[in-house]
Amino acid sequence: MNRKAIILASGKGQRMLPLTRDIPKPLLKVGNVTLLEDKIIKLAESGITDIAINTAYLGSYIHDHVGDGSKFGIQITISDEGESPIGTANGIRKILDFFGENPFLVVNADIWTNYTFIDLLKHDLSNKLGHVILVPKPTYHQGDFSLEDNHLIKGQDFTFTGIGLYTSELFRKYNHSDLGDILREEKNISSSIFGGYWEDIGTPERLENARSAYNSL
């Protein structure tokens, strides 16, 4: 089945200042690749050939950096949200036609992980509206969800990685502007727990954590 993906890259990265004063957070580097390139490469290695990237803050920098995707051997579509982000769910809705009726993968640009997408892309959503990847909550996070029969429920046992596979129906069913609000309301979202390395690049300190982990490999 032809899968497509979107990398969410429109955030302002205010907690990352001063690093993001003149560069959007997805273009910060770990090792010799940007956060954004890392996601593009991992998605391409998983067989995805069509990727959308939503942009807002300093979005032209991202467009210039990735181009049309040909240097990665894929097709990239930029969805420009203007000067300010419109919300993760709204950003997906804005280009919902891009995905057609097949399930599509969503990943946040501002994470660093050794998770690969192949198993998620094979996941069957015939009886579900989505499947998300969780991790045991790190010390700096209060947790997003708990699980019951591998389905999301309210709680704080696990942290959402920003990685998920969804149906278009999920975004037609709700009008929330942010994906997190949809996931907290919808009952038919299944989940898997990832036990590998994952870091939310939300502060300069966590960026340094990711760089240290990368250098130690």
Per-residue pLDDT at 1: 54
Per-residue pLDDT at 2: 67
The angle formed by the CA atoms of residues 201, 202 and 208, to the nearest 5 degrees, is 50
- Read off the pLDDT of each residue in 178-206 and give the average, rounded to a whole number: 96
Q: Hey, is 210 helix, strand or coil?
A: helix
> What CATH homologous superfamily does 4-216 map to?
Spore Coat Polysaccharide Biosynthesis Protein SpsA; Chain A (3.90.550.10)
187, 167 in Cβ contact below 8 A? no
Look at residue 215 and tell me whether its pLDDT is greater than 90.
no
Question: What mean pLDDT value characterizes the chain?
Answer: 94
Structure tokens at 55: 């942009």
Which residues make Cβ contacts (< 8 Å) with residue 154, sequence separation at least 6? 145, 146, 184
**HSE-CB of 57 using CA atoms within 13 angstroms:** 19
62-81 residue pLDDT tens: 999 999 999 999 999 999 99
The angle formed by the CA atoms of residues 9, 102 and 56, to the nearest 5 degrees, is 15
Where exactly are the structural domains of the chain? 4-216
Cα separation of 124 and 191, whole Å?
12
pLDDT classification of 122: cutoffs 50, 70, 90: confident
Residue type, 101: E
Residue type, 139: T
Query: Which range among 38-47, 86-95, 135-144, 185-194 shows the weakest confidence by mean pLDDT?
Result: 135-144
Q: Hey, is 107 helix, strand or coil?
A: strand
